[in-house]
Amino acid sequence: MKIDVRSLLNELIHSMENDVSRTQSVNSRWFLQLMIYELERLAFLDEENTQHKMIALFMGGIIYALNQDDQECQYPIRLYPAETVANMRRDLSWGMLHGRVNELEYMTAIGEEALRNLPHAFNGELFKRQTRLTDSGPGEAVFPGLKDRADKVDLLMKFCIANSGNLNVPTIDRNHFNSEEYDKAAQKYQMLAEFRQKHKASFHGGWFGSFFSRTNLPAYDNMQTILSHAKKTTFFGFKNRTFQTLREMSVINEQGEVIKPGFN
């Protein structure tokens, strides 16, 4: 059974329009409305990469709104992937402070980071979590409409994993997610995510680590780019950090040949 991606995205977006929870802060609602207006504008465009932009903004806008709620209301449970927001705050805070990155760009960047860290950064279970306005009050979902459509959120998430190299594919085939082909795509996606985390950790801390994270990590969006960079040497002729990370993951041998199935 094939499902139109734009139609699915549209349903998820509009499930939030009149579905305001008492747990949402004023800031959160403002950012969500800004996100919805921009998504409606993008929906009328027929430009290359539009669907990818819409998915990233949708995910990033929701995560950022949840972050705003958490800061203002100090919820007893964490309702969003904090690391995703922290990564973007570190990388883009200077641009936000000096007016070089606006709110929509910031939300989109958070969404792009989420797309590199699925499924934990964005999935249906996030919207089933409930919080309370008071210690004795009833639990409430922040986005009741998305809670009721958690299975469709997961469908979008699986689509993003299976098509991580091209999020502009127009349709989703439900049957595809029960196939060996999807399992291979998911395995490759997870290896990419693992590589980025290990590579990032090796440069964590200090001004050099911050500089590296901002300028290089987002470029590692496919296997070919990573393997190509691993062949390069440092200024002094040594194996670079990409090569070393792939060796630690047992992806390549000392000669730089791929030895791990699926990583090619």
How many folded domains does the chain comprise? 2
Do 99 and 211 fall within a single domain?
A: no
Across the chain, the runs of DSSP E, i.e. the strands, are 2-4, 130-131, 140-141, 171-173
Give the model confidence (pLDDT) of 179-206 as tens digits. 787 888 888 888 887 787 777 776 554 4
In a domain, 259, yes or no: no
pLDDT band at 98 (very low <50, low <70, confident <90, very high): low
**End-of-domain residue from the set 116, 151, 177:** 177
Residue 22, in any domain of the structure:
yes
Residue type, 151: D
Asked if 64 and 164 sit in the same domain, the reply is yes
My answer on whether 118 and 154 are in the same domain is yes
pLDDT tens for residues 124-161?
A: 998 888 776 556 566 777 888 999 999 999 999 999 99
For position 215, what pLDDT does the model report? 37
- pLDDT tens per residue across span 34-76: 999 999 999 998 888 999 999 999 999 998 888 877 666 655 5
CA distance 240 to 50: 35
Range of the domain at 197: 184-248
CA angle 197, 221, 90 (to 5 degrees): 50
CB count, 10 Å around CB of 257? 9
**pLDDT at res. 78:** 54
Full-model pTM:
0.78
Q: Does residue 170 sit in the same domain as residue 214?
A: no
DSSP assignment letter at 139: P
Q: Which pLDDT belongs to residue 188? A: 80
Pair (135, 243) in one structural domain = no
**Based on the domain organization, do 173 and 189 belong to the same domain?**
no
More confident residue, 20 or 236: 236
